[in-house]
Amino acid sequence: MDRHLEAFLEMLAAERGAARNTLAAYAADLGDLAAFLRQREPRGLAAASADALRAYLARLAEEGLSARTAARRLSAMRQFFRFLAREGVRPDDPTELLDSPRQGKSLPKALRAAEVTALLDAAARLPGKRGPLTVAMLELLYCSGLRASELVGLPASALAQDSALILVRGKGNKDRLVPISGRARTAVLGLQDPKKPSKWLFPSYGASGHLTRQSLVLLVKQAALEAGLDPAKVSPHVLRHSFASHLLEGGADLRALQMLLGHADIATTQIYTRVLEERLRELVETHHPLA
């Protein structure tokens, strides 16, 4: 690995508390850039010019990569070259001369409340231990809006017996308190075995000691199939979107929603207002006599 890229990744881990998957994504994106530049810039990745970076973005477009993917690659490039300029590795930041790819904001895909109910009912019908486990995880996902990685990584201490709040460690190792429903609490506590205490709320026999994101996704897909829903349209991320959308529909404050979701920037949360606008438009077009 390029030594400057390695230093950048070390900075992300040490100073920003970046998760393993985040570091892997940066390494992959910048590694692809390095491979592209290998024939163009013999001095290495750190010496890339703005023209070379622009040519790389043009190649991404030629290969049919979406504007969203190109924007993510450009974001990684900007952070990397800003780091190099800050550390004095190079005197300038070539990404300042680059334009961001235009991309339309896609609306989050949220389930209807009736679909969530059907999903929970179907989860309870899954055989063996999968049923109670899936119900507990779905209840907790939908009532709290947790990310999949946040849910599976919950320590047992996050859920106190006498508290209506759960302590969540989110991106950048930032902690937040999220209220949960009595139903979710009962479902999760029902999984605990006093004879086999665990460090994790959802333990497993894997290397991490807790259930993996892949296992969570599989359980959610199985519940979707049982409920007669398209499993391609149901995921832990969709349940997070459903949580946010349904709260807004019920009159929740956008700032409160930002804190519950663990968004660092209110602009990230504001996309859910578009979901509400879309739902209201559908309501008028469907039910208004003059629509």
For the record, the structure tokens of 106 come out as: 């896609």
- Reply yes or no on whether 16 is catalytic: no
Encode 233-266: b = buried (16+ Cβ within 10 Å), e = exposed: ebbbebbbbbbbbbbbeeeeeeeebbebbbbeee
Query: Of 171, 183, 213, 221, which is the active-site residue?
Result: 171
- Reply yes or no on whether 263 is catalytic: yes
Query: Of 73, 147, 241, 246, which is the active-site residue?
Result: 147
- Reply yes or no on whether 171 is catalytic: yes
- Reply yes or no on whether 38 is catalytic: no
- Reply yes or no on whether 82 is catalytic: no
Query: Of 26, 56, 142, 272, which is the active-site residue?
Result: 272
C-alpha distances in Å from residue 213, one per residue of 187, 191, 210, 219 = 19, 18, 10, 10
Active site residues: 147, 171, 237, 240, 263, 272
